[in-house]
Structure 1
Amino acid sequence: MNTPAGQATLGAWLDAQLAAHPSEIELGLDRVGRVADALGLRCPARQSVVIGGTNGKGSCVALTAGLIGSRARVGCYTSPHLWRYNERVTVDGAPASDADFIAAFTAIEAVRGDTRLTFFEWGTLAALWLFKRAGVDIAILEVGLGGRLDAVNIVDADIALVVSIGLDHTDWLGDTREAIGTEKAGIYRADKPALCSERDRPASLAAQAATIGACFEPIGEAFDIRRVDGQWRIRDGQQAVAAAVEADVLDDNMAASVALVHRLGLSVSAADIARAAHAQRRLPGRREWHMSSPAIVYDVGHNEAAIARLIETLTDRAFDRVHLVIGMLVDKPIEKIGAMLAPHVDQWYPVDLSGVTPRGASAAELGSRLGQGNEQAGFASPAAGLAAARSVADAADCIVVCGSFYTVAQVRDPMT
């Protein structure tokens, strides 16, 4: 890699990383592990948590950090970012600065030798380096892809949570939920809590946990949640907590996050749950409602399970008409998602992402694959699609912006 020289900017570092290893994905732990060992990064905090799953990882990171609150110094690593790379690493809620990342990248470059790293591996190592430097008590790490061979898995998690199992990234993880479950269970560790909040979980999760001797603790058995008179009742072994149900927070995500925090040795109160729910609702682009006239919901979901959640959110509310501004990547299940959304959408606005990312679908391809009469429709950008929807939507309508992080990032104002 041509190392940025002198007073290089963060952007220069990121450009150099992308140019040096243009492959977005190269699974495996040997390369990133060697660099981590050279820097002593496998134990970045007093306690480390790894969260994997098809959907809901970022929400559970936010919920877990929110439940802990100020009782510990918490570092969070998530991906991808919406607007700024700095969003990926936070310490006590504050994003890492450009200078922080430059210091981390400089330290990594000094020891990596001829080891090639992917863009994601650079970011993962930087997060661990920053957490170690900051002296965080608890590191909460979101898996990027899969689990077993993901760079985050160089950390031996004290507690691991698999949130959900769905069909996504099948080229890398396998084309069945059983195969994907095995990959995601790779974050579990022997004799350590191995949580799972997927109710319809493939048997491979428990099987993998048993094979390595992890303490498998699934929802519905080790912990659970139910609604009673507008309250959540969360049971976790001999511990129980009740709190008011919070809008736009998935019950099972909250239950799993509470169980996780209990296993960190911390109690959870109703006030902690309210604070955590607020933290999760602040996550941009996760079924994020702006109750304007018309209402707008932003959702980065891009697989069938995520779209099913979005549909549930839509059907919980009553609108005259639903306008769908959608942009997707070419390797996503566009046809299936179109069929799922069709009964709930009145007007479609397929938008072009081919100029934003090489994997982006053009408006023409997206419209053709969505079907539903969209073959001749299309807009040059997410902004153009949203403007068109706003121009015709009435106050009692809803505009949905969805399909990809790229779609939401193009139109969601980071200052609101």
Structure 2
Amino acid sequence: MADAAYHDALRRLFARTGGAWRLGLERVSELLALLGNPQRAYPVFHVAGTNGKGSTVATLDALLRGSGLRVGRYTSPHLVDFAERLVVDGAPMPHDAITAWLTQWEPELTRLGATFFEATTAMALDWFSAQRVDVAIVEVGLGGRLDATNTVEPLAAAVTQIGFDHLEFLGDTLELIAGEKAGIYKRGAVAVVGEARPSICAHLTAHAESVGARGVLVTGRDWEVRDIVVGASGTSFTLVTTDGERRLTTPLIGEFQAHNAAVALAMLRGAGGRWLEIERNASALLPAVRLAGRFHHVAPWLFDVAHNADGAATVVANLLDVGAPLPVSAVVCVLRDKDWAGILQAVARVATHIVVTMAPTAPVARAWNLDEVTAWAESEGLPVQRVDNFALALDRARAQAATVLVTGSFHTVGDAMERLQVDPLAR
């Protein structure tokens, strides 16, 4: 009965995703006021960016928890279970607590016309307060300036790498997108700029300075990452700051993971005080970093979300760097509004077989057209095989290779993890 109530409550919550995306802070601000503004009960580290924000959040989580703090972590989307979004000290919000909160506040959610993400954000911030966390790490959902999470008053805010995504909401140039993401920088809070491209970096830096950030830390100016080495056990790098240089290792695999770790460390360094002491102990704390669904290896399976061709190319490079057992096959499902052709081309550089399929939870309105995909792949000479049934696609790929890459959308990776009984929150 409890599970039935939970799933019924989630069904009503997810129904709030219908219609046009409505950005803005008015509804969520009013909702949080009704809750007593729980987001003010604890310090917050706020993270935005097109790429790298998940890794930065995961790194902060490990560093803060490893220091003995009680840590709330709010991320999106989830892989297998909605509760993965709202985590305290590695444990998801219990199903019965989610059900109770949604049931109690549903009349107000309806009255305010709160969206799915606004309701979920308010629930997370309220849960963290109820759980008396020492600190919370909050990941932006979309953009920054008008994202529901921008109701927090952060100790430090970071913008990681910028790329083209959600152009209909954020603008069609990198400068416009950066401007939206820079909206999380606030007067009196530390601002961290993780984007290295000079023009975008300058744009973010100028915005942070204009709003009166307490301090602005910029990659390439206030820290530098050198001598990156990627291996099967993680990514080692030299971090150079005004305090000198250190050799560090993150368990996350990929050159970009060194830069993401550096952004997390810059947030702590900029915050100062006890947070700086945690940063200085990074060498001992970084080994605990985990990030589900990002180069997540449970042999022979390798799970890695890739929304664009660059992301897929990075997955391929990492596979080669760690010397994954050959041959490699891939199971791929991408949402139709993403660059699925670029993703397939990148995957084909390492996979001898590519099975294209349909993830069960992929939204029907955004599902890719397998007729179009297979016709295009055949015209390009890619080793693509169509298997509509998702379970059969996993079996087919497993039978053809020593390493099976599951990639594409969060739906694809999450559905595979659920079927293969891989817990995203397992240590």
Normalised to the residue count of structure 1, the TM-score between the two structures is: 0.87
Query: What is residue 326 of structure 1 aligned with on the other side?
Result: 332
1:305 to 310, 324, 337: 310
Q: Which whole-Å CA distance do the structure 1 matches of 2:222 and 2:302 have between them?
A: 34
Query: What is residue 265 of structure 2 aligned with on the other side?
Result: 258
CA pair 243-186 structure 1, distance change in 2 beyond 3 A: same
Query: What is residue 26 of structure 1 aligned with on the other side?
Result: 22
1:351 lines up with 2:354 in the alignment:
no
Query: What is residue 226 of structure 1 aligned with on the other side?
Result: 226
Segment drifting more, 212-221 vs 340-349: 340-349
2:388 to 370, 376, 380: 380
Q: Which whole-Å CA distance do the structure 2 matches of 1:274 and 1:302 have between them?
A: 32
C-alpha contact (below 8 Å) 1:78/1:89 kept by paired residues: yes
1:278 to 274, 288, 300: 288
The one-letter code of the counterpart of 1:227 is D
The one-letter code of the counterpart of 2:289 is A
**Runs of 5+ consecutive residues of structure 2 not aligned to the other structure:** 230-234
Query: What is residue 195 of structure 1 aligned with on the other side?
Result: 192
C-alpha contact (below 8 Å) 1:104/1:129 kept by paired residues: no
Aligned residues: 403
CA pair 270-384 structure 1, distance change in 2 beyond 3 A: farther
Segment drifting more, 141-150 vs 12-21: 12-21
- Give how far 1:45 is off: 3.6
CA pair 231-7 structure 1, distance change in 2 beyond 3 A: closer
1:167 lines up with 2:167 in the alignment:
no
Q: Tell me the SS of whatever aligns to 2:221.
A: coil
Q: Which whole-Å CA distance do the structure 1 matches of 2:252 and 2:31 have between them?
A: 43
The one-letter code of the counterpart of 1:332 is K
Normalised to the residue count of structure 2, the TM-score between the two structures is: 0.85
Q: Tell me the SS of whatever aligns to 1:156.
A: coil
The one-letter code of the counterpart of 2:23 is L
| 1:48-73 residue CA offsets vs partner (Å, 9 max, x unmatched) | 11111112222211110111124321
CA pair 190-113 structure 1, distance change in 2 beyond 3 A: same
Segment drifting more, 205-214 vs 50-59: 205-214
The one-letter code of the counterpart of 1:357 is P
The one-letter code of the counterpart of 1:322 is V
Query: What is residue 232 of structure 2 aligned with on the other side?
Result: none
| 1:70-104 residue CA offsets vs partner (Å, 9 max, x unmatched) | 43211000111111111111111111101222333
Query: What is residue 406 of structure 1 aligned with on the other side?
Result: 411
- Give how far 1:26 is off: 1.7
1:53 lines up with 2:49 in the alignment:
yes
Q: Which whole-Å CA distance do the structure 2 matches of 1:181 and 1:38 have between them?
A: 32
| 1:10-33 residue CA offsets vs partner (Å, 9 max, x unmatched) | 222221123355237321111111
Q: Which whole-Å CA distance do the structure 2 matches of 1:197 and 1:117 have between them?
A: 32
Matches within 5 A, 1:3-82: 9-20=5-16, 22-23=18-19, 25-41=21-37, 43-68=39-64, 69-82=66-79
Q: Tell me the SS of whatever aligns to 1:243.
A: strand
2:368 to 361, 369, 372: 361
Q: Which whole-Å CA distance do the structure 2 matches of 1:119 and 1:102 have between them?
A: 14
C-alpha contact (below 8 Å) 1:389/1:399 kept by paired residues: yes
CA pair 70-320 structure 1, distance change in 2 beyond 3 A: closer
Q: Tell me the SS of whatever aligns to 1:325.
A: strand
- Give how far 1:299 is off: 0.7
Q: Which whole-Å CA distance do the structure 2 matches of 1:7 and 1:333 have between them?
A: 37
Percent identity among equivalent residues? 33
Between structures 1 and 2, the one with greater helix share: 2
CA pair 84-228 structure 1, distance change in 2 beyond 3 A: closer
2:153 to 127, 136, 156: 156
C-alpha contact (below 8 Å) 1:349/1:378 kept by paired residues: yes
C-alpha contact (below 8 Å) 2:253/2:295 kept by paired residues: yes
The one-letter code of the counterpart of 1:258 is L
- Give how far 1:168 is off: 1.4
CA pair 107-159 structure 1, distance change in 2 beyond 3 A: farther
**RMSD of the alignment, in Å?**
2.8
